[in-house]
Amino acid sequence: MQHKEEILLFLLFIQFALQSLAVISLENGGYKNIVVAIHKDVPEDEKLLTNLKELFTKASSYLNTTTNGQAYFKEIIIAIPSTWENKPQYEDVLKNYFPSADVRIDHPNPYHENDPYTLQPGGCGEHGQYIHITPHFVKELHGETADNYGPAERHIVHEWAHLRYGVFDEYGLPGDPNYPAFYLENGKIVPTSCIHRITGWIEALDGGPCSITADGTVSEDCRFIPNVQNEDAKASVMYLPYIPSITGFCDHTAERLHNARAPTKHNTLCWNQPTWTVITNHPDFSKRAKRATFITTKPIFRLVRAQKGTAGRYVLVLDVSGSMGGEPIKLLHRAARRFIEDRVPDGDQLGIVSFGSKADVLHNLTRISNTTRSQLSKALPTKDSGGSTAIGQGLIQAVKVLKSQGELAEGGLIILITDGEENVKPLIHKILPMLEKEKVVVNAIAFGSKASAKLEPLTKATGGKGFFFADIKGKQQTNALDSAFLDSVTSQADLEFQPVQILDGTIKLNSSITFKKIDLDKELGKNTVFTFTSKNIENVDIILKSPSGQVFNSSSSEYTKDALHKLRIAIKLSESETGRWTAIIRRSGSTDVAVSVSVISEPKDPRIQPVRVRSWLSNVQLKYPAHAKVYAEVKKGYDAVIGAKVKAMIDRPLGPPVEVFLKDNGAGPDGSENDGIYSGFFTQFNGNGRYAVVANVLNDGDAKLKIGSKASAALAATKFKNLKDREKKNATSTFQTSEFVLTNKTKKPTEPEGEPADVFERVSNAGAFRLDDFKANDEDIIPPSRVFDLKVLSSNELANKKFVTLKWTSPGDDVDVGNATSIDLRASVIAEDLLERFTALESFNKTSVVDGNFTPAPPGEMQVLSVEVPNTVWQKNSNNSAEHIDVYFALRIIDDNNNKGNVSNIASGHFGKLEFASSPIFMVKAAEKINWLPYIIGIGVASLIAIILIFILTVVYCKRRKTYKPET
Ligand SMILES: *[C@@H]1O[C@H](CO)[C@@H](O)[C@H](O)[C@H]1NC(C)=O
Ligand SMILES: *[C@@H]1O[C@H](CO)[C@@H](O)[C@H](O)[C@H]1NC(C)=O
Ligand SMILES: *[C@@H]1O[C@H](CO)[C@@H](O)[C@H](O)[C@H]1NC(C)=O
Ligand SMILES: *[C@@H]1O[C@H](CO)[C@@H](O)[C@H](O)[C@H]1NC(C)=O
């Protein structure tokens, strides 16, 4: 019973944040609308298509098997690039599928080479970003791929589970400090796995025996080689999907019994719950009324090919209802005009619809050229229509506009801007099915704080993005509206051609002359546009100096000033120098003036990509108490940029914006260190309504470029060859430490740090989220965040007493802000106790502490604490044998209002003497090469260190005993 309660509790913690990226739908167990897009640089090859179909057909069947007949792939869109020859069987589309595809077929990310992987920076239950498969993997389906990976379709299901259900890898990696390939259990070495029973062999990379340090850390050249062909274990897809007997995910049944003790990423992030528990609680499964019934798992493939020169198609749907009267409509008009005249790329198509009590087509879809821009901007509404708010009708008209030339609406983007609540039929939810059927994407700009709360469901369902523009009275100078428009057009272009936003901010001119430095990195320099916007633009003048000293000013042909309609100065350079530019902003008159500055540029050569930033939110609809999670990906192609300064600026319903620093440190909100994805929590809510988020990224010299970027992959490249030799020994699922050679080499080679990156600056609009149910009480109800990097650094025994040193990254009072108050640390010899009855276990108190502080360190700091493990914990009966005692630890952090953070991951400490192979003579073949001296010295040094440690511990321990009197 207790167990059930805890599971229910855990389900409350996982956020099934259905992020708006994917618009995959589920119908009677069949997933539809899955997009597999081939990158345009992948050479044309018919075999790729044949093999993709085969791969996904088999994957669909395997997905059905692993979900007990509950899910399969029903409809898959294979998007063929326009660089391939057109064929009659390809459907012509006007959409660039690649940037938003669920599955990318693209040249390798150097970190993963040909291993399929999923970009999955989210938390438990969150959607991932995309699956990446290389053309080589697909083409070699029956060759190298089959040899190296086994049945490839199983890897697809593994990746799909990462992407769709937010479950994680259930294996460890050699040398990985967080998720090691082996761990100690009852004095035996166990391969890190979600299930206990998989058997196999171990050996070092050179074919010799594995080595181990005295504390039981297996050296990183040691591999577990599963007994692939003779295995009977049924789980798990997230561990070694290619083992033929594996037919499902780990669960609570005997056949697939989940191992909650293994230090896997899945256990760490998903509260040690079996993958199947997490999956069946995903809305795809939990919300389904009745079990799916389907007679075939064969997917239907739609082959679509973007026409050559496919460009964006947008319809602006503008609110002109009564409430827009006055300043709001003027503001909107100016921003829309700048958008049409300055921003929309040549060749894209644009239409305009307005709505008040009814909707009107103001301009049909028109291809943008220097002659049509002004024609389109003249059609923009200049005043309100005085009526009510017919959002639904506006959307219907927009779809008609997209289809007016006999084209499909699919691939079109509707940019909806509204300031109020809809009050004319049909309502948004009634026309949603039509929008989904037509496959149009809706981006919504909430104009002011009264904009409808129905915008988030609309953008989510159509795969669009929401933005928020607060300043509808035009009191502050901000670019937020321009930035939302820009983001919408950018997302439609091929990834390689999308413009990069270098700068987007507001400068207060409080003297007659202001200098602004602008760094243009060397990959950029095409179609560079410097824009300066201000209500008082007539009082502003700009001089721009290039890195070589060339000057652009009001007499240059590249310079335009519009002080009437657009209120901006723009300097457009089709080709520009790169390096440090200086803008000299001159103000006439004596009053302060605010100027918004925006700089965008495109890569000179699309084959040499600049650093790009993409930012997003894990959820766009929050209910208080909650925390928002912001992500920013900083990469150059697939290479990760690490060490950049990443800051999210968050505009709140009230008061000035707040800053949140995003980190790539593998703690707090960040699931994976140094992967180029930075994340942060936000909790400083101050009211119901929308919060707009913009990420600013800066390299002021510390950033480095790493080749490739790590993500979640299936453990793959185990070769099936050479199995005969191993069959001499029986396969087992645990290993005696006596099979290992003792080593003192614990240091793993440090990962290459990367090359210093060029100086750069970027801005990325993450969009907006909406918060409801905010309570403005003074009481703090937000708990500290969950610790998920708890580790046992060392465990020691002394005079029949047992000590451990623990380490973790400290959270804050509210998630990760402010100092928390206390540490609730508990332990048990039964790992499951910490999951199922944490609060029933005895809590450690100050008297157990032998070194370190028993109060939480400041947020983000590494905390190290040494404690004595009470006899009452380790003397308890358990599976532990007399010689080996495993003690498991977990903690939660509590704030000053007694809000308790979630229970951390579980860390284990081992007590007892480990036996090792008696002498390195065991190292058969390499014997003649052995130089004994380092071993002897090593063992000597290790013993000396141990003696010193024991001495120090004794001293510290005795001292503490004197200092801390047991509480009475
Ligand atoms: C789906 O899987 C279930 C369970 O393994 C099986 O009974 C069923 O026949 C499968 N359905 C199809 C259409 O293959
Ligand atoms: C848009 O096109 C439709 C059909 O082609 C036409 O009936 C309508 O008059 C056009 N509207 C405008 C504003 O040009
Ligand atoms: C429009 O563009 C064409 C070709 O790019 C150019 O020749 C022409 O001068 C432009 N017209 C105007 C009014 O800028
Ligand atoms: C392997 O297992 C078999 C059957 O359990 C046993 O008879 C045999 O002795 C084992 N061989 C080794 C080398 O352990």
**pLDDT tops 80 at residue 141:** yes
Q: What is the pLDDT of residues 710-731, one digit of tens each?
A: 887 766 555 544 455 555 678 8
Residue 927 confidence (pLDDT): 36
Distance 742 CA to ligand 2 centre (A): 82
Report whether residue 361 contacts ligand 2, using a CB cutoff of 6 Å: yes
Q: Does ligand 2 come within 6 angstroms of the Cβ of 364?
A: yes
pLDDT digits (tens, 9 = 90+) for 833-892: 999 899 999 999 999 999 999 999 999 999 999 999 998 888 876 665 678 899 999 999
Ligand closest to the CA atom of residue 397: 2
Strand partners, 583: 516, 544
Residue 746 has pLDDT above 70, yes or no: no
Q: End-to-end distance of the chain based on CA atoms, in angstroms?
A: 35
State the closest ligand 2 atom to the C-alpha of 360, by its place in the atom list counted from 1.
13
- Mean pLDDT score, 390-408: 95
| Ligand 1, atom nearest to 68 Cα | 4
pLDDT band at 918 (very low <50, low <70, confident <90, very high): low
Burial 563-598 (b: 16+ CB within 10 A, else e): eeebbbbbbbbeebbbeebebebebeeeeebbbbbb
Site to substitute for ligand 2 among 350, 397, 404, most atoms within 8 A of C-beta: 404
Give the pLDDT mean for 180-189: 92
Q: How far apart are CA 712 and CA 168, in angstroms?
A: 7
730 CA → ligand 4 middle, Å = 6
Task: Please indicate whether residue 952 or residue 874 has the higher confidence score (pLDDT).
Answer: 874
CA of 64 to the centre of ligand 1 (A): 6
Ligand 2 center to 886 CA (angstroms)? 76
> Could you report the per-residue pLDDT of 630-651, keeping only the tens digit for each?
999 999 999 999 999 999 999 9
Q: Is residue 777 scored above 80 in pLDDT?
A: no
pLDDT in tens, 501-550: 999 999 999 889 999 999 999 999 999 999 999 999 999 999 999 999 99
**Which ligand 4 atom sits closest to the C-alpha of 728?**
13
Taking 60 as the threshold, does the pLDDT of residue 19 lie above it?
no
Which ligand is nearest the CA of 354, by number?
Answer: 2
- State the distance from the centre of ligand 1 to the C-alpha of 236, rounded, in angstroms: 18
How confident is the prediction for the chain on average, in pLDDT? 88
Q: Write the DSSP string, 58-95.
A: HHHHHHHHHTTSS-EE-EEEEEE-TTSPP-TTSEEES-
Q: Whose CA is nearest to atom 9 of ligand 4?
A: 730
- Asked if residue 579 has pLDDT above 70, the reply is yes
Lowest mean pLDDT among 9-23, 90-104, 454-468: 9-23
Q: Ligand 1: which residues within 6 Å by Cβ?
A: 64-65, 68-69, 294-297
**CA dist., res. 266 & res. 506, Å (int):** 43
Ligand 2 atom at minimal distance to the Cα of residue 362: 13
For residue 295, give the ligand 1 atom closest to its CA.
Answer: 13
pLDDT in tens, 163-178: 999 999 999 988 888 8
Q: What pLDDT is stored for residue 876 in this prediction?
A: 73
Determine the residue of 730, 732, 735, 739 to mutate for testing ligand 4's pocket, defined as the one with the most ligand atoms within 8 A of the Cβ atom. 730
Give percent of the chain above pLDDT 70: 89
Q: Is the pLDDT of residue 83 over 70?
A: yes
Atom 14 (ligand 4) nearest CA: 730
Please give the distance, rounded to the nearest whole angstrom, from the Cα atom of residue 731 to the centre of ligand 4. Answer: 9
Q: Is 379 in the pocket of ligand 2 (CB under 6 A)?
A: no
What is the reported pLDDT for 778?
Answer: 72
- Is the CB of residue 405 below 6 angstroms from any atom belonging to ligand 2? no
pLDDT score, position 924: 39
Is the C-beta atom of 729 inside 6 A of ligand 4?
yes
Q: CB of 793 closer than 6 A to ligand 2?
A: no
Q: Tell me the CA–centroid distance for residue 406 and ligand 2, in Å.
A: 13
**Which amino acid appears at position 418 of this protein?**
T
Ligand 4 atom at minimal distance to the Cα of residue 729? 13
- For the chain, how many helices (H) and strands (E)? 18, 51
Q: If you measure from the C-alpha of residue 279 to the centroid of ligand 1, how many angstroms do you get, rounded to a whole number? A: 18
Q: Would the pTM count as exceeding 0.95?
A: no
Give distance in angstroms: CA of 199 to centre of ligand 1: 28
Tell me the two tokens of residue 566: 């657009």
Identify which ligand lies nearest to the alpha carbon of 64: 1
What confidence tens digit (pLDDT) does each residue in 281-298 have? 998 988 765 677 889 999
Predicted confidence band of residue 932 (pLDDT cuts 50, 70, 90): very low
CA distance 736 to 326: 80
404 pocket-lining for ligand 2 (C-beta < 6 Å)? yes
Tokens of 103: 């599955």
Of all protein residues, the one whose alpha carbon is nearest to atom 4 of ligand 4 is 730
Ligand nearest to the CA of 739: 4
- Tell me how far the alpha carbon of residue 401 lies from the centroid of ligand 2, in angstroms: 8
872 lines ligand 4 (CB under 6 A): no
What's the CA gap between 670 and 122, in Å, rounded?
Answer: 8
Our answer on whether the CB atom of 142 is closer than 6 Å to any ligand 4 atom is no
Q: How far apart are CA 523 and CA 548, in angstroms?
A: 17
> Of the residues 28, 61, 64, which should be mutated to test ligand 1's pocket, given the most ligand atoms within 8 Å of the CB?
64
727 lines ligand 4 (CB under 6 A): no
Q: Is pLDDT at 483 greater than 90 in this prediction?
A: yes
CB-based contacts of 176, cutoff 8 Å, min separation 6: none
